[in-house]
Structure 1
Amino acid sequence: MRAFLRALFGRRARLRWIHLVLGGALAMPFVLVGEVIIGPAVDDSVLGPLPLQLAGFGVGLPIAAVTSLFPLTRPLEAAAVRVLCGIDADRLAHEPARSWAARGRTAMWFTLHVGVGGIVSGMSLALPPFAVVLIVLPFYSWLTDRAPWFPEFLDHTWALALTPVAGVASLLALAGVSAGAGALLARWAPALLGPTPEDRLAAAEERAADLAVRNRLARELHDSVGHALSAVTLQASAARRVLDTDPEFVREALAAIEATTRRTVGELDAVLGVLRDGDGPGTAPAPTLGADLDDLLRRTRASGARVTAAIGTAPEDLPPVLSREAYRIVQEGLSNALRHGGENVCVALSVDVRDGRVEITVENPLGRPAAPSRPGGGHGLAGIEERARLLGGTMRAGPAGDTWRLRVRLPLRESG
């Protein structure tokens, strides 16, 4: 019994009843327009006020369907359904209708909403006063004289005794109709207001674009900050070992640490600027292979590692995107070599314009125990491979004799 009463008068049933009443309120202007349209063509002696309203209601529904073809109707109706009908937000579309098929489904829903809502609203206005009169009729039998539309059998005592039951039954019937209509609309709402295949495709493309931006920012943070921390760690370690014997080297190491951290803070601000404002004009430029390779090698050598570089054709004329990504690849390759190879790191960079590719090779000797892996680390090679793949290139990494070799080949493109 409690579940039955909750289904008729519970919070969800009440909210859905409010949703239906709102539909009836939306239907009123269309009913008035319908009455204006059919009023001059109908004699008042043929149709009374109620039939005229019903006829206006029938004419107004198609007008409502036409007016609901505006794209913004769908998000407005979806918001009302989510709040009042208890439908999960992920089952409804929140964007304006993009296609005529989506607008047609929205028009069907809007017509159903105002149509069923108008009927339930009319019943809600008429039945409660009538039911109250039936409930109190045995105590105020003189009401039958004031209302000639009461049937004559109510003059009998047994009939008057049953009128409260009929009044309560009328209220229960109204609650049942409202709950049933609300449940029916809630069931049809996802089918008519839910996302179309075009909406799902657009949402998937938006998620893919957001994921690409997040991955790009993650690569930038990993390469720039990771390289800086690796270099600073080696510089601090070397300075600690010779603190009492070589003060000049310690001063140089501290100066290198200061320069590295200052530059890394600038790169971090640039990446955070992308997060805040996008690639706007206020974002600091990213380092490139042509402009910043020498500085990268100098800072790496300042950590105490012996780095040799064999630079082929000058990389100043590389396309901007290729130059930026190649710089990050060299930076991450050096970071991995410093972590695992320490000293005697060999870096070879060549730009082969004839074959239309940029070839980057980073080598370090094997045999040194790998540095302890940090929690969440180990994404360097994956980031390099992802960068190479996005540029249409290839990446190979692995032991070659007693040397660990990273080799990346990128196609040389004129458009950045």
Structure 2
Amino acid sequence: MRCWHHEGVRPLRPLYAGLTWRRWTFLLLGGLLCAPTAVVVAFVGGTANALLRPEALAIGVTFGVSLLLMAGLGLLPVVRKLEGAVAAELLGAPQVIGTCARWPARLRAAVWFVGHLFCGALACGATIFAPPAIGYGLIRPLLAKDAMIWPSLLGLVVIPAFLYGIVLAGHLAARVAEWALGPSAQERVEAAERRASVQVERTRLARELHDSVGHALSIVTVQSAAAERILDRDPDFARQALKAIEESARTALEDLDHVLGLLREEESARAPQRTLRDLDDLLAKTGLDIRVDRDGDLDRLPSAVSREAYRIIQEGLTNVAKHAGHVPVDLRLSARPGVLDLELRNPMGARTHGRDTGGRGLAGLSERVGVLAGRISAGALDGHWRLAASIPLPKGTA
């Protein structure tokens, strides 16, 4: 029974919905805006009737002047903004208003403004004259005994038609507003490109934070734990560990300040572009026992390759400290003609066995190396964890 009652009143919902009458109010506002124009049109019409013959020519001139006046107002960008704001509030149209100042967008806004004024004038006329006319048709048989009953029957038909006409007019106005006042196809494409650009920048910043700050925090954790264990037995080593913690924290603060500067859109923010030239400083801060095997002239590598190689080593050492602990690490760098080979190998500690050590860092490294058309792999091999990357080099680099 409840379902039947619910379905029964559904066709009546638009008649008492607040959105319907807000839309009708929007149309009535068009009629009010049309009033000042009507004064100008009346003046032009009187002048045309006095100067022009035949009468049809005067009417045509009056109509043309009124149309040009309304269209000229509609071409103004401020009118488009005002119409869009009111349409979003009363029509329930999309909140995003087009801002394109090109002529196609301005012409659509002009067509909309002219239509709003004309339809508003009709809506005002219907609101003023329709209810009294319908009411008179309904009560006329009661006032005159010899009156025909068909006006009353016609009034009963006109009432729902008038009310649903209000609903339909508001719905059509909302749909047309999307075309006339909303963003153009070019604006939608530009907005999508801006969103994609923002997403790319966010991804890059996330990588920067993970690679630099995440690495520094891992080193701080390892070094502080080592310093605590040997503070009484070897104060000199503990002092070195604390020094490494200080330097790692300072580096992390610099990287964090850079990222925050980018988020504030500061033009002075510059990314710390660390490359393989800074490798010795990186290895000294880790506190790990690292054996390095260098082959080739690493200083002649392209800056992009050297930078990404540095990040790969940084991420690999961070994972060693996080998952394997204080274990010996073998690092091999080989710059051969046409390719840079990088390999990081360490024994798998107790915390590494039985768990997946891959994470966002390795996924980010895969994307970085992929941009340079290189390859990267990571996994267990003969009781060791091996991280290897191969990056192509331009001819004549190594």
- TM-score exceeds 0.5: yes
Counterpart of 2:122, as a letter, is: I
| Residue 373 of structure 2 corresponds to residue 388 of structure 1 | no
Which aligned pairs between 1:326-405 and structure 2 lie closer than 5 A? 326-342=309-325, 343-352=327-336, 354-355=337-338, 357-366=339-348, 368-370=350-352, 378-403=359-384, 404-405=386-387
| Residue 92 of structure 2 corresponds to residue 86 of structure 1 | yes
Residue aligned with 2:97, SS = coil
TM-score (normalised: structure 1): 0.73
How many residues are paired up?
384
User: Which shows bigger deviation, 233-242 or 263-272?
Assistant: 233-242
Counterpart of 2:193, as a letter, is: E
User: Which shows bigger deviation, 325-334 or 25-34?
Assistant: 25-34
| Residue 25 of structure 2 corresponds to residue 18 of structure 1 | yes
Q: 1:227 aligns with which of 197, 215, 222?
A: 215
Counterpart of 1:220, as a letter, is: E
Give 1:64's aligned residue: 70
Give 2:170's aligned residue: 182
Which aligned pairs between 1:176-215 and structure 2 lie closer than 5 A? 177-215=165-203
In structure 2, do the counterparts of structure 1 residues 406 and 45 end up closer, same or farther at CA, with 3 Å as the change threshold?
closer
Residue aligned with 2:352, SS = coil
Counterpart of 2:18, as a letter, is: R
TM-score (normalised: structure 2): 0.76
**Offset at residue 82 of structure 1 (A):** 1.7
Separation (CA, whole Å) in 2 of partners of 1:322 and 1:64: 62
Counterpart of 1:394, as a letter, is: R
**Offset at residue 8 of structure 1 (A):** 4.3
Does the 8 Å CA contact 1:31/1:59 hold for their aligned counterparts? no
**Offset at residue 288 of structure 1 (A):** 1.2
- Aligned-residue Cα RMSD (Å) equals 4.4
In structure 2, do the counterparts of structure 1 residues 58 and 177 end up closer, same or farther at CA, with 3 Å as the change threshold?
farther
Unaligned segments of structure 1, at least 5 residues: 139-152
Does the 8 Å CA contact 2:369/2:375 hold for their aligned counterparts? yes
Counterpart of 1:337, as a letter, is: V
Does the 8 Å CA contact 1:309/1:346 hold for their aligned counterparts? yes
Residue aligned with 2:98, SS = coil
Separation (CA, whole Å) in 1 of partners of 2:390 and 2:291: 18
Give 1:145's aligned residue: none
Separation (CA, whole Å) in 2 of partners of 1:289 and 1:412: 18
**Offset at residue 387 of structure 1 (A):** 1.5
In structure 2, do the counterparts of structure 1 residues 77 and 323 end up closer, same or farther at CA, with 3 Å as the change threshold?
farther
Does the 8 Å CA contact 1:134/1:166 hold for their aligned counterparts? no
Counterpart of 2:33, as a letter, is: L
The alignment-based identity, stated in percent, is: 37
Residue aligned with 1:42, SS = helix
Does the 8 Å CA contact 1:349/1:360 hold for their aligned counterparts? yes
Separation (CA, whole Å) in 1 of partners of 2:63 and 2:156: 29
Does the 8 Å CA contact 1:395/1:407 hold for their aligned counterparts? yes
Residue aligned with 2:333, SS = strand
In structure 2, do the counterparts of structure 1 residues 374 and 360 end up closer, same or farther at CA, with 3 Å as the change threshold?
closer
Which aligned pairs between 1:279-318 and structure 2 lie closer than 5 A? 280-281=267-268, 283-300=269-286, 302=287, 305-313=288-296, 315-316=298-299
Q: 1:256 aligns with which of 244, 248, 257?
A: 244
Which aligned pairs between 1:31-180 and structure 2 lie closer than 5 A? 31-43=38-50, 56=62, 59-61=65-67, 63-65=69-71, 67-69=73-75, 74-89=80-95, 93-97=96-100, 101-124=104-127, 177-180=165-168
In structure 2, do the counterparts of structure 1 residues 189 and 126 end up closer, same or farther at CA, with 3 Å as the change threshold?
same
Residue aligned with 1:87, SS = coil
